[in-house]
Chains A and B, each alone.
Chain A
Amino acid sequence: MANRTAAPKPVSLKRFPGLATGAAFFFVYLYLPILFVVFLSFNENRIATIWTGFTFDWYPLVLGNADVLRAAQNSLIVATFASVIATMAATLAALAMTQGRAMRRQEVVNGSLALPLLIPEIVTAVATLIFFVAIGMPLGLLTITAAHTVFCIPFAYLPIRARLEGMDPSLREAAFDLYANERQAFFRVTLPLLWPGILSGLLLAFIVSLDNFVITFFVSGPGSTTLPVYIYGMIRTGVTPEVNAVSALLLLVSLVLVTVALLLSRRET
């Protein structure tokens, strides 16, 4: 390929005084509590904070708990529908933004698509609740899914748009040049190249929906408890190793999905 000019050597961050200590402190602060939760989920003692010995018992107990399973099922249903719908909307938006004729006020549209990431969640939660009450919609899985779809869109949109923007625009032109019409060019060239971005957006949206608490708490009704809301309910009667075990499981699922999403978005064009 084209010969690369040698980039100027970057300033070595290693020489920055206190960087290692600062970074170490940051990571401990960030991950120690999480590790602690995982660690305590193996605690034999009923009182979660007093360690008496190792056990694996809490996991079968949790997985045998009908309420936990129902909450998990609700979470999965909501996350699946919300992430799929949000990803479809985000894909269409990203295609319109990058492949259509250059739109006026493109930055405004991009900004408004990403804005939900910055609006305090509690504001969105209250507003969404008022909206559902105003239109007389009974609170349940449907309202949760609707609310989740909305805040999932920016999460799905960002990786998809990044992927599209990194794509050589002449690839699509090459398809047209080789006698493909709009539809053929999309399905044979654009979509296959966009897949990693779409999957990565879908997974991100899925996790964000799966882990959401604040908005879900406001718009859920009786019988439509999701896992994070259920955990919150459990914790009100005291932190038990069961809570830790459920949390650890949720963490595991999220970690796996985030890793897959990252790997997908890194995959080379």
Chain B
Amino acid sequence: MAENIAIDLRAVSKVFGSGPDEVRALDAVSLQIRDGEFFTLLGPSGCGKTTLLRLLAGFEQPTQGEIRLHGQELSGLPPFRRPVNTVFQSYALFPHMTVAQNVSFGLEMQGTSKAEIGRRVDEMLELVKLAGYGRRKPAQLSGGQQQRVALARALANRPKVLLLDEPLSALDLKLRKEMQIELKRLQNDTGITFVFVTHDQEEALTMSDRLVVMDSGKALQIGSPREIYEHPENRFVADFIGETNLLVARVDSADGESGTFRLPSGARVQGRSRDGLSAGAEVTLALRPERAELSDDPDAPLRGRIENVVYFGTDTLYQVSVNEVGLFRVRSQNVNGGMAAAGIGSTVGISFAPDAIQVLRD
């Protein structure tokens, strides 16, 4: 493998409890996180993303499988012997210590010299823009500042990997946006691999170099935000990330690259295909609302009646009721001043480019 792999998970499972109370929090998850990338674990609560993070930190041990960090097997190592640091959801700042004492804690435990600790603490507080706050107690800081201290405390140890457990979830929207930019900046400046846990798909798309979408303890799809958004592999991913129209269709003909699919209305559409499709098989197609457009073309593959028009500022959402499909959503950019192309009750055609159609894997 040409690229430098920071974290390598091989068929990692984690089971809590036993017998009838058994919970499989992670189910044979295999994935690789590259050195220096911003990698996000995305999924709804209970999908196993936090468990995966805790396995990396060493707070839990895997039931099965291997976790390697730059080639070194981590299983069995306690958290204090792993070159990774965590930013906790609750920040977990030590309330009885000052900001400087919090930041220096890890260095002290590693036996770093006093002079070096002092230098590094100043450098870290500078990095998170909290220079001069060293003597305060965490309780005297705002939520956003506490978050920065938590980051400084973890980064002070120059970890190989920084683990972030939904660190922005306690902040209000404006502060969260600021911290998103701040985190990206810190990651760029330090070059440290970030593993970021979130249930917020927008956050995941905007911040990550790559991400994994998880559900029920499984890694469903791994890829760049663009790959995940444009080419979701299955129904869950298509549905969880952004808005999606799902269409049931039958395969007319297909090779590995593209195919023709027959919609229930009888219309044929072109789309990106995948391996192993045989003619006649039933498949689910996904189509993003912004990749579809309203059209006057009488031969448009879908026709329906506009049920609702919602103005969003940058774009307008049309909900079109299509026979045998249900409500179909079309989003169009408001490039002409936001005048609706068609009103409620009118009948319209819906057309789309062949590469807008994605065949799902279930």
Q: What is the interface of chain A, defined by CB distance below 8 A to chain B? A: 1-3, 168, 170-171, 173-181, 184, 188-189, 192-193, 268-269
Contacts and interface: CB of A to CB of B under 8 A. Distances in A.
Contact of B109 (A1, A180, A192): A180
Contacts, number: 65
Contacts of B58: 176-177
Contacts of B139: 268
B153 interface: yes
Contacts of A1: 143, 170
Contact of A192 (B85, B88, B96): B96
Chain A contact surface mostly: helix
A179 B158 CA distance: 13
Interface of B: 57-59, 78-80, 84-86, 88-90, 92-96, 105-106, 109-110, 139, 143, 153-154, 157, 170, 172
A177 B57 contact: yes
B76 to A, nearest CB: 15
A170 B88 contact: yes
Contacts of B95: 193, 269
Nearest to B146: A1
Given A170-B88, A174-B94, A181-B80, 5 more contacts: A168-B90, A175-B94, A179-B80, A184-B109, A189-B94
Contact of B94 (A2, A171, A181): A171
A198 to B, nearest CB: 14
Contact of A174 (B88, B110, B143, B170): B88
A178 B143 contact: no
Given A1-B170, A179-B109, A174 B92 contact: yes
A184 B95 CA distance: 16
| Residue among A171, A179, A188, A189 with the highest chain B CB neighbour number at 10 A | A179
B59 A173 contact: yes
A1 B153 CA distance: 19
A269 B4 CA distance: 44
Nearest to A185: B80
A179 B156 CA distance: 12
B79 A177 contact: yes
Contacts of B80: 176-181
A132 B88 CA distance: 53
B92 A173 contact: yes
